[in-house]
Amino acid sequence: MNRKVENYIRDIFSNNRNIVENPTCYIYDLEEITNRINEIEKNKLPNVSLYYAMKANPNKEVLAHVLKHSGIAGIEIASTGELHTAQSVGLSNMNKVLFTGPGKTPVELEEAVRSNIRYINVESVVEAIRINEIASRLNIDKVNILLRININYFLDGASEYMAGMSTKMGIDQSRFEEDYKYISNLEHINICGFHVFAADGVLDHEILLKYADFVFKFVEYAQTIVGKVSVIDFGGGFGIDYTKANRKFNTKEYFKSLGKIVEKYNFEDKEIILELGKYIVGSAGYYATRIIDIKDCKGMKHIVTAGGVNHMRLPIATDRKHPVYIIHMNEPKLYNGQLSVSKEKVDIEGPLCMTEDKISWDEYIEEANIGDIVVLTQSGAYCYSASTLWFLSHELPLEIIIK
Ligand SMILES: Cc1ncc(COP(=O)(O)O)c(C=O)c1O
């Protein structure tokens, strides 16, 4: 954790009245987001468009900041709720919106069609039929879609898989020809390309390159049935490192080699879409919470913090710890026998009355005292909004932007 952020956290836990009273918050560093976007903008191929998967962090200030960058072509939404959030921060050009996700309701599809968003990423024949019916009823000639395909390729080396195995996402590649036959007969559907998001949290760029080659081979074959398509949407997947080693996904090498694969297939005229979430905002976020108590129970210490999985569910949900830092606040002791932690492994747990309420576990801590601040870095993506925020009705953690 850098000094700037450490000092900022120490300051708000000492002086910000809201944090003093409710000592648990997320902190977002907008400069880090800008650095990530600019880095991709600098290295990417001319035919690559970068979208922001706003499910990663729908905080309004974060979203508005992301949208300011010329390197961002638009957003990928997973619900019309996300669309409304984007509209509330000023996004009015619906040609900047892609809509993906299994189980879009008929009402959501109708709003997407009426809004004339750029592409609906269609996940099944049923969804295509619903869109077609809506377009027909609204006298809309064509709705532009990408067909989401669950490609027959297991992209080993990710943290979560959407495809390459049996999932609810997209159309199974083995059903592609049959389902395409049906969808292509729907009068109001215009298939512009494919959506092939397969896995999330890939740190090794070589793994994504092998997948890209496999996908291009599929598209080459699919075009013999569908005709020429103009878009291939890879979804998200660039990973961040959840250890203190802080290894980086090598965007420069990724795009350099992707360029060679594009050349091999003569796909220079196709738009390649990336809908990145974690890579853009993951490293820009910090979860910070005060140590309320320290217990010693049957030979092991437990640090109890003001917030737990109600605020920060990602580590326990994915069985992957975040880097932990302790900021020392030098609070006076409440009594002489008060416990502290010194050079030992502990669990760090929230205030919920369930044993799974751990934000970290088996964590070696050099020193920690009641009143100190526990900080989990890499907490900008899939943390606040993916937590069980109202479980036990504790106050919500504040979300603070580093100014
Ligand atoms: C359809 C789609 N696109 C993009 C993303 C963003 O993925 P990531 O955060 O790995 O970049 C996701 C994440 O689940 C997704 O479901």
For the segment 249-268, the average pLDDT, to the nearest whole number, is 97
Full DSSP string of 16-60: -HHHHHS-EEEEE-HHHHHHHHHHHHHHS-TTEEEEEEGGG---H
Which residues, in sequence order, are CB contacts of 276 under 8 Å at separation 6+?
A: 40, 50, 51, 52, 53, 236, 237, 238
Full DSSP string of 298-353: TTEEEEEES--TTT--HHHHHT-PPPEEEE---PPPSSTT---EEEEEEEEE-SSS
Within this chain, do residues 335 and 395 fall inside the same structural domain, yes or no?
yes
Within this chain, do residues 214 and 269 fall inside the same structural domain, yes or no?
yes
Q: Give the pLDDT confidence of 343-369 residue by residue, as tens digits.
A: 999 999 999 999 999 999 999 999 999
Q: Give the pLDDT confidence of 95-107 residue by residue, as tens digits.
A: 999 999 999 999 9
- Gap between the Cα atoms of 76 and 82, Å rounded: 9
> What whole-number percentage of the chain has pLDDT above 70?
100
Residues with CB under 6 A from ligand 1: 53, 55-56, 76, 100, 197, 200, 235-238, 275-279, 381
Ligand 1 centroid – CA 317 distance (Å):
17
Atom of ligand 1 lying closest to residue 282 CA: 9
Residue where a domain stops, chosen among 264, 282, 300: 282
Within this chain, do residues 114 and 149 fall inside the same structural domain, yes or no?
yes
Within this chain, do residues 256 and 338 fall inside the same structural domain, yes or no?
no
Q: What is the largest CA-CA distance in the chain?
A: 79
Mutate to test the pocket of ligand 1, among 66, 207, 275 (most ligand atoms within 8 A of CB): 275
Within this chain, do residues 182 and 304 fall inside the same structural domain, yes or no?
no
Within this chain, do residues 250 and 296 fall inside the same structural domain, yes or no?
no
- Gap between the Cα atoms of 82 and 57, Å rounded: 10
Q: What is the pLDDT, as a whole number, of residue 108?
A: 98
Q: What is the pLDDT, as a whole number, of residue 156?
A: 83
Within this chain, do residues 112 and 151 fall inside the same structural domain, yes or no?
yes
Find the helix or strand (DSSP H, E) in which 52 lies: strand 48-53
- Gap between the Cα atoms of 267 and 258, Å rounded: 11
Task: Give residue 199's domain range.
Answer: 30-282
Report how many domains make up the chain. 2
Across the chain, what does the average pLDDT equal? 96
Q: What is the pLDDT, as a whole number, of residue 159?
A: 77
| Residue whose CA is at the smallest distance from ligand 1 atom 12 | 236
- Gap between the Cα atoms of 250 and 242, Å rounded: 16
Q: Sorting pLDDT into bands at 50, 70 and 90, what band is 153? A: confident
Evaluate whether 375 touches 287 at the Cβ level (below 8 Å): yes
Q: What is the pLDDT, as a whole number, of residue 66?
A: 98
Q: Sorting pLDDT into bands at 50, 70 and 90, what band is 155? A: confident
For the segment 78-89, the average pLDDT, to the nearest whole number, is 98
Q: What is the pLDDT, as a whole number, of residue 195?
A: 98
Q: Sorting pLDDT into bands at 50, 70 and 90, what band is 60? A: very high
Q: What is the pLDDT, as a whole number, of residue 164?
A: 83
In the predicted structure, residue 24 carries a pLDDT above the cut 90 = yes
For the segment 154-170, the average pLDDT, to the nearest whole number, is 84
Short-list 298, 147, 160, CA closest to 225: 147
Q: What is the pLDDT, as a whole number, of residue 53?
A: 98
Ligand 1 centroid – CA 275 distance (Å):
6
Within this chain, do residues 11 and 81 fall inside the same structural domain, yes or no?
no
Q: Give the pLDDT confidence of 190-224 residue by residue, as tens digits.
A: 999 999 999 889 999 999 999 999 999 999 999 99
CATH code for the domain of 388: 2.40.37.10
Within this chain, do residues 125 and 265 fall inside the same structural domain, yes or no?
yes
pTM (2 d.p.): 0.96
In the predicted structure, residue 225 carries a pLDDT above the cut 90 = yes
For the segment 83-91, the average pLDDT, to the nearest whole number, is 98
For the segment 125-132, the average pLDDT, to the nearest whole number, is 98
Atom of ligand 1 lying closest to residue 237 CA: 10
Q: Sorting pLDDT into bands at 50, 70 and 90, what band is 19? A: very high
- Amino acid at position 16, single letter: N
Query: In the structure encoding, which two tokens stand for residue 284, read together?
Result: 């820009």
In the predicted structure, residue 121 carries a pLDDT above the cut 80 = yes
Ligand 1 centroid – CA 357 distance (Å):
26
Q: What is the pLDDT, as a whole number, of residue 158?
A: 79
Within this chain, do residues 21 and 40 fall inside the same structural domain, yes or no?
no
Residue where a domain stops, chosen among 233, 254, 282: 282
Q: Sorting pLDDT into bands at 50, 70 and 90, what band is 20? A: very high
Within this chain, do residues 85 and 228 fall inside the same structural domain, yes or no?
yes
**CB count, 10 Å around CB of 12?**
21
Phi/psi for 129 (5° steps) reads -65, -45
Evaluate whether 52 touches 277 at the Cβ level (below 8 Å): yes
Residue where a domain stops, chosen among 226, 249, 282: 282
In the predicted structure, residue 309 carries a pLDDT above the cut 80 = yes
- Gap between the Cα atoms of 52 and 235, Å rounded: 10
CATH code for the domain of 100: 3.20.20.10
Q: What is the 3-state secondary structure (H, E, C) of 256-286?
A: HHHHHHHHHCCCCCCEEEEEECHHHHHHHEE
Which residues, in sequence order, are CB contacts of 133 under 8 Å at separation 6+?
A: none
Within this chain, do residues 265 and 318 fall inside the same structural domain, yes or no?
no
